[in-house]
Structure 1
């Protein structure tokens, strides 16, 4: 279900509170609270003014784009509700000027009617200036086909912000009303946008939604007001499969329902890409979307001239993103602006907090990277100083059991770590286990050279696990390799319980050199130390001691590690063991 908790004073004052906060951040703005109009305080009335607006809940759209080089004013309604004509009329009056006003609205019925009515009222009352107010409706959604859209046309989505930026830059440079109108009209007809979400959003102050997207589904084509999309896909595909299908919606010239843009697919199509966070997506994931889209456009031989990425037009806290492509004109396109001119306007500086930084240049074309040389984890040693397992097949089978057990335990360890730490321990151990499986499959771990095997595992911990756990495991196994090697110097031998005991004690002491954790500390050191110290009593007894120590961490005050920063009373009330300690328990029990 969508997140239904919000931090606010009152749902009824949220929009005004938010706009007041925006104006505190940007002191070039002025605010008319009764009409929810944000506008430039020091307006140059010799230049064309641009007004936009619509329902709130799409921040930074629309008010976040008011500023020098972009919009002159934004008229804001309540969440997902169009402002009324009186509000819009107030906005027009606040930016009244000598050069004229261009009103830009997304294609939603309420916005078109209310902004249109205000424009007509202004023209009726100012006959001498009736030609000084122009109106453009922008629709860039490609999810809704031509038949379904009928006379209504395409919905307005994040692509409209590209129109704000290009038209706003031209107005700031002194373009006439006709010039600004013409470039805005041209650009608005060359944009396609498709959205995709993992879940719908929740409007503050409303009841919980009755519909939901399941945990295994993704919805394509959903609108920015919680409108359902046109398709759900399950299971959720990887980006390398999802992105091509999304781009098909925008670039197709064979789909009679969605051939909105005149792509020619001859290697000369040139586009601007806008990757938009719909509100609840992490920057980490958004970067992956950018990379996947860039690579897919390169595969299609579509020239990518600019990338703009960030939170542009949201649907409150919706976890999802949208892709917009602006198809630039070709050199031989009749009655079209130059592509270089459009890019210049896009690159022009804008003092608007919602506009995202861009490089002002085409992105680097992806090229295949040469594979990095694989580090040789095996040590250089005298061929006569090899220590092997008594039964190499059993040794490898034990490691395979360990890997399978860690992978199976990932959900439970992750649950523990979301309470006791930062939530990544389960995935860290799973990643290490999967990497060890690959090394076993490649026969880099075979039980014939235990020193080399330990070093391979140490390298896996270092490179595939990362973080604190990866470092601890890597140090321990590197030290274990040293201990085994020291016991086998000058001879070829088979590992004995005594050799293992000596090597384990040496490895634990070496680990203590780099961590202050000592049992009981509520860390992985607790079961590890218990195992090593009880090893002389036999392997089974040592495993039992380690398991007991791991279980006991639920009653131990954290002195080190991830849990040291978590409220100890909460940990004890939750009765959750330390995730890292639980991982050691699983490893030893699997062996």
Structure 2
């Protein structure tokens, strides 16, 4: 898998400052000290505890994205993956000077601890009367690095740090004392576990393009947010249902002497954070949430809150991390209550980096996925039941056509990545798999052709979606109507009836689409097939399929007039000479249908 090495920048050396300036446009309550790259609340309430965070850039929205009302007061930002220097941190301390004191929260990385710690000590040396007014919290929530390996440096700070920011920031906003804010931040930090997984490493703007770190079939568990390697690689890439339980085992194990970091006892109440490491799509991330919640429920955990989104990234890393916050169970009198922590977590801060989250207890996954009996493509009441002349051959033809589409998916997808939006192959494959499932369950059968055609229409509607799904669904619905309207009470579907019904279905389809051949769409081979079949009264199916194949091939030299290809730059289509993917799909289906006839 290749590393994404292209970026939208003016000059790499100006990227951090320009990004922070843009952030200030998004959040008018904050301002930027350009020289020291410190983002801070312009008019802080100096009667309340201030919170300072920071670290290397490249983890956005952490850290500057959390500066604002209800969360952090300032963030000192280094260059990409590099700690801010001591003078930057010292400037942040001076900018948030207040009556109650300041809590500094940093991730457990040597550079951050040294530079933030030195700034704190310099401040205490200059103002000895205020030496107890600046407190320090170090967050280390990574569980990938075992205790033996990390016995000196400790656990790395990862996305769990954002939960510490949120809870401590909300308490400070309520007017909590310095000791209260510091104590709660320390407690939350001690109850966090995070593990990440990546498909590939990330790329730092301005650096040389690197080679792939992982093979196309590999993922890496435990990757750090600065491109540090993980603790193991898996190949082939397991499905989420197998991967997530492995990650949770690292997070929740109390028997592994290397990774029993958090005192889980079983049936614990937890807060779940699923974090996008920068390059994971918004489509995939909720799927991770689903699998994680299901796995937690299976283990007996009670998920009190779910947070998901982009909280702490590693630039453009295609990966995610899972964080669990173990809520107090009431057995420790010195611990804050779970209700307090949840209420602090639920308060909505006025900052752009914090993602929306519900304050309600999530509905258990087991209740969300209740399914109605007999789910699947459903038929409709029919006025007539017609059987194929050879029901067994009909079933086999349907099966061959579906398998042909499934085998052709990679090539159709390749075509559509050039001539369209890249989804045609997968859409057709989804439809083919749905038809195969209906065939195996008996919903599609040569004993009931009309019911089978209606079932195919339902599959196209429900499994395919999009434009092609609608076109296929309309066509097959119209085909069912044509079969019923033109039958001769013989009880079977003759070749002539197929020809008449297909012709009427095409006519009805044309009332819903403006595409007409030659149009570089699926209509080209479909029209060629139907017209040729109709001309021979259904007697020469093979010749009709050949004409459909020729029409599909001809689309490679046609100007796109309809469909997604109409939006593709014309010269590129001429240069590539790629047939229309939808037309190729029709060709594949028809050729598969007659392959052994």
TM-score, normalised to structure 1, is 0.97
Give a deviation string over 1:9-46, Cα, whole Å, max 9, x none.
00000000000000011110010111110000001122
The one of 567, 570, 574 equivalent to 1:568 is: 570
- 8 A Cα contact 1:28 1:40, kept in partner: yes
- The residue number in structure 1 matching 2:214 is 213
- The residue number in structure 1 matching 2:231 is 230
- 8 A Cα contact 1:270 1:303, kept in partner: yes
Q: Kindly report which structure 2 residues correspond to 1:98-497, keeping only aligned pairs within 5 A, or say none.
A: 98-265=99-266, 267=267, 269-366=268-365, 367=367, 368-374=369-375, 377-378=378-379, 380-381=381-382, 385-493=384-492, 495-497=493-495
Alpha-carbon distance change, 131 to 480 in structure 1, aligned in 2, over 3 angstroms: same
- The residue number in structure 2 matching 1:511 is 509
- 8 A Cα contact 1:48 1:171, kept in partner: yes
* Distance in 2, Cα, partners of 1:572 & 1:245: 49
- 8 A Cα contact 2:3 2:211, kept in partner: no
Query: Within the alignment, does 1:531 sit opposite 2:529 as a pair?
Result: yes
Q: How much has 1:448 moved relative to structure 2?
A: 2.1
- The residue number in structure 2 matching 1:95 is 96
- The residue number in structure 1 matching 2:10 is 9
- The residue number in structure 1 matching 2:553 is 551
User: What's the RMSD between the two structures over aligned residues?
Assistant: 1.4
* Distance in 2, Cα, partners of 1:283 & 1:215: 21
1:305 is paired with a residue of what secondary structure? strand
* Distance in 2, Cα, partners of 1:272 & 1:181: 20
Give a deviation string over 1:144-166, Cα, whole Å, max 9, x none.
00000011100000001111111
Moved more, 139-148 or 373-382: 373-382
Give a deviation string over 1:195-254, Cα, whole Å, max 9, x none.
011111000010122451111111110000000100111121121111111111111110
2:75 is paired with a residue of what secondary structure? strand
Alpha-carbon distance change, 222 to 375 in structure 1, aligned in 2, over 3 angstroms: closer
Query: Within the alignment, does 1:27 sit opposite 2:28 as a pair?
Result: yes
2:521 is paired with a residue of what secondary structure? coil
Moved more, 244-253 or 556-565: 556-565
2:35 is paired with a residue of what secondary structure? helix
1:149 is paired with a residue of what secondary structure? coil
Q: Kindly report which structure 2 residues correspond to 1:45-64, keeping only aligned pairs within 5 A, or say none.
A: 45-64=46-65
Alpha-carbon distance change, 545 to 242 in structure 1, aligned in 2, over 3 angstroms: same
* Distance in 1, Cα, partners of 2:438 & 2:355: 44
- 8 A Cα contact 2:104 2:136, kept in partner: yes
Moved more, 362-371 or 293-302: 362-371
Q: How much has 1:374 moved relative to structure 2?
A: 4.0
Alpha-carbon distance change, 587 to 23 in structure 1, aligned in 2, over 3 angstroms: same
- 8 A Cα contact 1:71 1:168, kept in partner: yes
Unpaired runs of 5+ in structure 2? Answer: none
Alpha-carbon distance change, 463 to 73 in structure 1, aligned in 2, over 3 angstroms: same
Q: How much has 1:507 moved relative to structure 2?
A: 1.1
Unpaired runs of 5+ in structure 1? Answer: none
- The residue number in structure 1 matching 2:497 is 499
Q: How much has 1:181 moved relative to structure 2?
A: 0.8
Give a deviation string over 1:469-505, Cα, whole Å, max 9, x none.
1111111112112222223243323x33222221111
* Distance in 2, Cα, partners of 1:55 & 1:562: 43
1:204 is paired with a residue of what secondary structure? coil
* Distance in 1, Cα, partners of 2:54 & 2:105: 8
- 8 A Cα contact 1:377 1:452, kept in partner: no
Q: How much has 1:381 moved relative to structure 2?
A: 4.6
Q: How much has 1:389 moved relative to structure 2?
A: 2.2
Give a deviation string over 1:262-317, Cα, whole Å, max 9, x none.
1111x2x1111111100011111111111111122111111111111110000001
Alpha-carbon distance change, 94 to 162 in structure 1, aligned in 2, over 3 angstroms: same
TM-score, normalised to structure 2, is 0.96
- 8 A Cα contact 1:480 1:506, kept in partner: yes
- 8 A Cα contact 2:377 2:438, kept in partner: no
- The residue number in structure 1 matching 2:520 is 522
1:146 is paired with a residue of what secondary structure? coil
Alpha-carbon distance change, 100 to 434 in structure 1, aligned in 2, over 3 angstroms: same
Alpha-carbon distance change, 553 to 376 in structure 1, aligned in 2, over 3 angstroms: closer
- 8 A Cα contact 2:3 2:212, kept in partner: no
2:397 is paired with a residue of what secondary structure? helix
**Which portions of structure 1, spanning 4 or more consecutive aligned residues, are displaced by more than 6 angstroms?**
none
Q: How much has 1:167 moved relative to structure 2?
A: 0.9
- The residue number in structure 1 matching 2:581 is 579
- 8 A Cα contact 2:307 2:357, kept in partner: yes
Alpha-carbon distance change, 122 to 381 in structure 1, aligned in 2, over 3 angstroms: closer
1:274 is paired with a residue of what secondary structure? strand
- 8 A Cα contact 2:200 2:212, kept in partner: no
* Distance in 1, Cα, partners of 2:193 & 2:385: 64
* Distance in 2, Cα, partners of 1:522 & 1:153: 61
Q: How much has 1:541 moved relative to structure 2?
A: 2.0
Q: How much has 1:378 moved relative to structure 2?
A: 4.3
Moved more, 399-408 or 478-487: 478-487
Moved more, 449-458 or 283-292: 449-458
Alpha-carbon distance change, 210 to 458 in structure 1, aligned in 2, over 3 angstroms: closer
Alpha-carbon distance change, 376 to 216 in structure 1, aligned in 2, over 3 angstroms: closer
* Distance in 1, Cα, partners of 2:4 & 2:468: 31
